[in-house]
Chain A
Amino acid sequence: MKQVDILIIDDEIKFADMLSRRLSLRGITSQACYDGLSGIQWVKENPGAAALILLDLKLPDMYGTQVLAHIKETDTVVPVFIITGHGTREDEKECLALGAAEFIHKPVSIEKITTLLTHVRGEVQ
């Protein structure tokens, strides 16, 4: 089982890679998945391995809310942060109802993400 700090599920490959690299520069480990299915797969294979999950809503194979529902089935405790450029009020409501920790609009600063991680770790400890 692979332990990572952050799991990034986003179809924008370059965005996910950039974020991943920037996090690693800060000593934060991350794993990027480029579609919903591989994301779900990763969570199933590595339950409890990610400290937090960043999830995009618009994915090529399925919608983010479906991915969120699957993840929550597998791992109820992991905090899932929705990071999207497309979110509507309805999406936000639905995601929060499904157990998402927060609904964040793109673009998001690296500081925000590191702060989130710090918070999550703080809560866990």
Chain B
Amino acid sequence: MIRKPQMLQRKEWLTFLFHRHNAHLASFHTFSNYRCIWIISIIILAVTSLSPLVMATFINQRLIQQAVDAELVLQTERVTSNAKRSMRFFLEERLNALRFIVNELPYYALIDNAHLGEILRNLKLGFGGFTDLSIIDADGSQVAYAGPFNLEGKNYKTQPWFTKSIESDNFISEVFTGYRDVPHIIIAVRSINALGRLFILRATLDTQRLMDTLLSYKTNVHTDIFLMNHAGVLQTPSSTYGKIFTPTHLGIPEFSTTTNVIPPENKSDHAFITGYSYIITEAVSTPFILLVNKEKSVVMGTWLNLGRTFNWIISISCLVMMIIITLVSTFMVNKLYLADKAKAETMMKMEQSQQLACIGQLSAGIAHEINNPLALINETAGYLKDLYHFADEHQNDQEIMEHLDDILEAVSRCGTITSQLLGFVRQFDVQTSNVDVEKLITGILNFHKKETEYKGIHITTDIAPDTPAIETDRGKLQQILLNLINNAFQAIEANGCLDITVSHLSPDHIFIEIKDTGCGIPEENLKRIHEPFFSTKKEKKGTGLGLSITYGLVKKLQGNIRVESSEGVGTIFTVTLPVKMKKEDKA
């Protein structure tokens, strides 16, 4: 059948991956390993097209990461710095107020409880956050007190804060509970009374006010702002580390007068960034370290989401590109393979026909050389027979006659072989004329009429009415059909069927199908039936040249012959012939 080579049929996809052809056909292929070509082509296309994309994505990712980190550091630094300034201002403001009081008022005025109460009230109004006030002399005994607690007459000589505050002009304590069991901070200023004795004005600040100020910098739940002392114990509650006075087990950050940021240790989105600052007032350093903890993922959520979305888009694009690359490579390599295969098949056919031509010429040469000695044997044996035949004495010697007849019959068989061999060479000349296929077939069948009747073979001929007269070599076509029909007759047992169908399915070709219900051809023999001298006919019936000559003749008429057979069922020979032969091949 005529196949349209442009159309890539569905089943032909990926043939190069799964097709196994014989080594002889493979030797005609330009490329041997199509699987390798396919893989290399996919790799090259993928690398060249995807690598810039992947690199751009990677760089972009790094830039986003860096921008995110830088922004985070900046934000944390700003919050820490602002919070530190307000803490410092909070403490400094109150310390300065105390300093103003001790400088402004005489000692006797200060030790007056009523006056001190008045001052406390004014301080609460003016600044807020003060709980009580007291004057403590150098021995640690409380001289005057104003405030809600009943602490009159207490001696603080043994208290650590007292020792520290008597040693310096200004003092700010850590947060502690002390005698009253409420967390508070002590700020104290030292002064000298008229008698030249040191005394301390001590104020207690409630931590609530401090914490409120601190919490006003907490922009969201994922930011943790708290104070801790130099031993790492919490001075205000922390959302990360817990209640006040809980040890954080954090390393004490390196001392610095400015605000610092510790970048996150690991690269994960849940890493913390920490800003810290030692709180130092102008007059005295405090025991507080301000810490700001921010969770990276929450702060930079939008940025990280953008990055993630971008990654998704890139991944999907890469996947789509890989699919396209694979499809394109498969298509191209398959096209290449099919073209190469067609070329290899053509070359193999050419090689086969050349081999056939060579065999033909060789056979003809041998036939010529054998014919002369054969003629001599023929004549000599004939002469011997004649001698016996014409001389009366041996006329009735049947044995001698039989032997001589055997020789002559053998010579006759040899003659048949040599003349068929010569037919091999003969088939290369073509003389065209208009041939009516129907008449030709009828003629050949008439020739077999007796055999048909004798064997009881049922013959049907179905010749399409639109079958045109074809321009071809009558003698060769006759020989083709005669050979095929002869073959069928030899295969058919008694009461078999022979169907001859002629159809005109394509405008340029006719199809002649000769179908018999004979013994069939075993599969292993199907490939060899066109080889010269291949015969399975028993009892010396065949020379093994019939089908090989037929094959050559069909090729000479620019046609095609195809055989389908199943053993025991029958054989179908289909001959395709052009309606009009091409001129260039006539010569």
Q: Is A120 an interface residue (CB 8 A)?
A: no
23 contacts between A and B (CB under 8 A): A14-B376, A14-B380, A15-B375, A15-B376, A18-B380, A18-B382, A18-B383, A21-B383, A22-B382, A25-B387, A85-B369, A85-B372, A85-B375, A88-B425, A105-B418, A106-B372, A106-B374, A106-B375, A106-B378, A106-B415, A107-B377, A108-B378, A110-B386
Beta-carbon contact of A107 and B375 below 8 Å: yes
Query: Are the CB atoms of A89 and B426 closer together than 8 Å?
Result: yes
Q: Does B248 contact A (CB under 8 A)?
A: no
On chain A, the residues within 8 Å of B386 by CB distance are 21-22, 25-26, 110
A109 to B383, CA, bound (A): 11
**Given A106-B371, A107-B374, A107-B415: A22 in contact with B379 (beta carbons within 8 A):** yes
Residue numbers in A under 8 Å from B380 (CB-CB): 14, 18
Q: Which of A18, A86, A88, A105 contacts B379 (CB 8 A)?
A: A18
User: Secondary structure at chain A's binding surface: helix, strand, loop or mixed?
Assistant: mixed
Complex CA gap A18/B380 in Å reads 6
B162 CB to nearest chain A CB (Å): 141
Counting CB contacts under 8 A, is B390 at the interface? yes
Min CB distance A22 to B, Å, is: 5
> How near does chain A come to B53, taking the closest CB pair, in angstroms?
72
- Interface residue from B371, B390, B422, B425 paired with A107 (Cβ < 8 Å): B371
- Residues of B14-44 at the interface with A, using a CB-CB cut-off of 8 Å, are none
Q: Which of A26, A84, A86, A107 meets B378, CB within 8 Å?
A: A107
- Whether A110 pairs with B374 at a CB distance below 8 angstroms is no
Contact A25 B372 (CB under 8 A): no
The answer to whether B382 and A12 have CB atoms under 8 Å apart is no
Which residues in B have their C-beta under 8 angstroms from that of A107? 371, 374-375, 377-379, 411-412, 414-415
Residue A4 at the chain B interface, CB threshold 8 Å: no
**Could you tell me which A residues sit within 8 Å of B by CB distance?**
12, 14-15, 18-19, 21-22, 25-26, 83-86, 88-89, 105-110
Known A86-B372, A106-B375; 11 more pairs at CB < 8 Å = A14-B376, A22-B382, A22-B383, A85-B368, A85-B374, A88-B425, A89-B429, A106-B374, A106-B415, A107-B414, A109-B382
The smallest C-beta distance from B497 to any residue of chain A, in angstroms, reads 38
Q: Does B122 contact A (CB under 8 A)?
A: no
Query: Which residues of chain B have C-beta atoms less than 8 A from A85's C-beta?
Result: 368-372, 374-375
Nearest chain A residue, comparing its CB with the CB of B427: A89
Is residue B490 contacting chain A, with contact meaning CB distance below 8 A? no
Closest Cβ of chain A to B375, distance in Å, is 4
With A and B bound together, what is the CA distance between A25 and B418 in angstroms? 29
Is A15 a contact partner of B390 (Cβ separation < 8 A)?
A: no
Is B355 located at the chain interface by the 8 A CB criterion? no
Chain B 371-400 interface mask (CB, 8 Å, partner A; 1/0): 110111111101100110010000000000
Instruction: Give every chain B residue within 8 A of A108 (Cβ-Cβ).
Output: 375, 378
Contact surface of B with A, Cβ cutoff 8 Å: 368-372, 374-380, 382-383, 386-387, 390, 411-412, 414-415, 418-419, 422, 425-426, 429
Chain B residue with Cβ nearest A86? B368
**Complex Cα–Cα for A18 and B368 (A):** 21
Contact for A109 among B378, B390, B419, CB less than 8 A = B378
Question: CA separation between A14 and B375, bound complex, in Å?
Answer: 10
Question: For residue A15, which residue of chain B has the nearest CB?
Answer: B376
Q: A25-B390, A105-B419 are in contact. Are A86 and B371 (CB under 8 A)?
A: yes
Contact in complex: A12, B419 (CB < 8 Å):
no
With CB as the reference atom, state the residue of chain A lying closest to B376: A15
The distance in angstroms between the C-alpha atoms of A83 and B415, with both chains bound, is 13
Check if B371 sits within 8 Å of A12, measured CB to CB: no
Give the CA-CA distance A18 to B376 in the complex, in Å: 8
Question: Which residues from A are CB-within-8-Å of B425?
Answer: 88-89
A88 to B428, CA, bound (A): 12
Residues of A within 8 A of B375 (CB): 12, 15, 83, 85, 106-108
Docked Cα-Cα span, A18 to B379, in Å, equals 6
Which A residue's beta carbon lies closest to that of B426?
A89
Q: Which of B372, B422, B426, B429 contacts A12 (CB 8 A)?
A: B372
Q: Contacts A12-B372, A86-B371, A106-B371 known; A19 to B426 CB distance under 8 Å? A: no
In the assembled complex, the CB of A100 is this many whole angstroms from the nearest CB of chain B, namely 18
Query: Contacts of B390 on A, CB cut-off 8 Å?
Result: 25
Determine the residue in chain B with the shortest Cβ distance to A16: B379
The CA-CA distance from A122 to B501 in the complex, in Å, is: 46
- B381 to chain A: closest CB distance in Å? 9
Max chain A C-beta neighbours (<10 A), residue from B375, B382, B415, B422? B375
Separation in Å of the A110 CB from the closest CB of chain B? 5
Distance between Cα atoms of A86 and B372 in the complex (Å): 8
Asked whether, in the complex, the Cβ of B368 is within 8 Å of the Cβ of A110, the reply is no
- Whether A12 touches B378, Cβ cut-off 8 Å, given contacts A105-B422, A107-B415, is no
The chain B residue sitting closest to A110, CB to CB, is B382
Nearest CB of chain B from residue A96's CB, rounded to whole Å: 14
The answer to whether B371 touches A105, judged by C-beta atoms less than 8 angstroms apart, is: yes
Q: Please, how many angstroms separate the alpha-carbon atoms of A84 and B426 in the complex?
A: 16
Q: How far is the CB of A41 from chain B (nearest CB, A)?
A: 24
A21, A22, A83, A85 — most chain B CB neighbours (10 Å): A85
